[in-house]
Structure 1
């Protein structure tokens, strides 16, 4: 079972990433782009995800993943029930979301320093 603490340290350590609180909700940004956000009760993690792949992700595991509200469907976004994720899976989702918003050279540098994936 993953918890917000499993990704907080990672979100703070990723290059160009920083935490912000918006209306009491923790979000991680690169510049002004939010790539991870938590619900007020910290039970749900929203994260950047390729729009054309999200239906398959949700269909493959509807207990863990869900689509955003209809008004947010225009964004590259998916929600995950943190209790249904293991900590390593949560960290991997965060890193993949972060990769969507940073330059490729920053992502490649991360791979060089973390050859075994997110720690």
Structure 2
């Protein structure tokens, strides 16, 4: 399974089916995100205890939305020293 990392911490994984990605998402935000857009976001049962959410790629509204999701995940994983110079800065 391909993974993307910043400073050794994963911020994206691409599951085997390649129709979705898994990104970091604070647990306290996941339920609201999934409730608002269940066709786009979900959490498999085996990841319920983690800080990850799955994103259905076909449900995204273009590359801009994909970029925003990836940047948000990157910012959650990146150490502070990289945040000022990284994506979305």
TM-score relative to the length of structure 2: 0.86
2:14 pairs with 1:47? no
Unaligned residue ranges in structure 1 (runs of 5+): 1-24
2:65 pairs with 1:82? no
Q: Partners of 2:31 and 2:25 in 1: how far apart? A: 10
Runs of 4+ off more than 6 Å: none
The alignment of Structure 1 onto Structure 2 pairs a total of residues equal to 88
Alignment-derived partner of residue 35 in structure 2: 59
Which entry has the higher C-alpha Rg, 1 or 2?
A: 1
Q: Contact 2:3–2:14 (CA<8 Å) still a contact in 1?
A: yes
Q: Partners of 1:109 and 1:35 in 2: how far apart? A: 17
SS of the aligned residue for 1:110 comes to coil
2:79 pairs with 1:96? no
Q: Partners of 1:101 and 1:108 in 2: how far apart? A: 13
Q: Partners of 2:7 and 2:81 in 1: how far apart? A: 16
Unaligned residue ranges in structure 2 (runs of 5+): none
CA RMSD of aligned residues (A): 1.7
Q: Contact 2:6–2:78 (CA<8 Å) still a contact in 1?
A: yes
